[in-house]
Amino acid sequence: MKLLIREQDQAIRLSHLPSFLSSDWSIEAINHLDSDLWFRQLQTVDAVISMQWTDPGIPCDNLKLLQLPGAGLDALDLQTIPVHTSVCNVFEHEIPIAEFVIAAILQWVTHLNTLDRNMRQNNWSGSHLFGPTHEELYGKTIGILGYGHIGKEVAKRIKPFGVRVIGCGPREPASGEKPDTFYLIDQLDAVLELSDFILVSTPLTEETEGLISKSEFKKMKNTAVIINVARGSIINEEALYRACKEKQIGGAVIDTWYQYPQDISEQIPPSRYNFNGLDNVIMSPHASTWTDSLIYRRTKLIAENLNRLARGEPLLNVVKHCAKIK
Residue 216 Cα distances to 186, 188, 213, 248, 313, angstroms: 12, 9, 5, 11, 47
Query: What pLDDT, on a 0 to 100 scale, did the predictor assign at position 324?
Result: 57
CA 36, distance to chain mean position in Å, is 29
Cα gap 220→208, rounded to integer Å: 18
Return d(Cα 27, Cα 247) in angstroms, integer: 51
- Asked if the domains 2-92+292-320 and 94-283 are classified in one and the same CATH topology, the answer is yes
Nearest-angstrom CA–CA distance, 137 and 109: 6
Kind of pairing, strands 318-320 and 86-88?
antiparallel
Distance (Å, whole) CA 244 – CA 275: 9
Is domain 94-283 classified as CATH 3.40.50.720?
Answer: yes
| Local confidence pLDDT in tens for the 326 residues of the chain | 999 999 999 988 999 999 999 989 999 999 988 999 999 999 999 999 999 999 999 999 999 999 999 999 999 999 999 999 999 999 999 999 999 999 999 999 999 999 999 999 999 999 999 999 999 999 999 999 999 999 999 999 999 999 999 999 999 999 999 999 999 999 999 999 999 999 999 999 999 999 999 999 999 999 999 999 999 999 999 999 999 999 999 999 999 999 999 888 999 999 999 999 999 999 999 999 999 999 999 999 999 999 999 999 999 999 988 865 43
Torsion of CA 62, 67, 72, 78, to 10 degrees: 10
User: Are 93 and 150 within 8 A, CB to CB?
Assistant: yes
Q: What is the pTM of this model?
A: 0.93
Domain 2-92+292-320 has CATH 3.40.309.10: no
User: Distance (Å, rounded) from C-alpha 94 to C-alpha 157?
Assistant: 11
User: What residue segments make up the domains of the chain, in order of their start?
Assistant: 2-92+292-320, 94-283
CA–CA separation, 52 and 134 (whole Å) = 44
**CA-closest candidate to residue 196, choices 279, 146, 135, 255:** 135
Angle at 268 between CA 4 and CA 275, to 5 degrees: 130
Residue pair 148/89 in contact by the 8 Å Cβ criterion = no
- Asked whether the CA dihedral 253, 259, 263, 266 is positive or negative, the reply is negative
Q: Which helix (H) or strand (E) holds 295?
A: helix 292-311
Please write down the long-range contacts of 13-19, taking CB distance under 8 Å and 24 or more positions apart. Answer: 13/69, 13/295, 13/298, 13/299, 14/49, 14/69, 14/299, 14/302, 15/295, 15/299, 16/295, 16/296, 16/299, 16/300, 16/303, 17/299, 17/302, 17/303
Separation CA 145–CA 183 (nearest Å): 10
**Is 10:28 a contact under the CB 8 Å cutoff?**
no
Q: What local confidence, expressed as pLDDT, does residue 326 receive? A: 39
Q: What amino acid occupies position 12?
A: I
Q: ∠ CA 194-195-198 to the nearest 5 degrees? A: 145
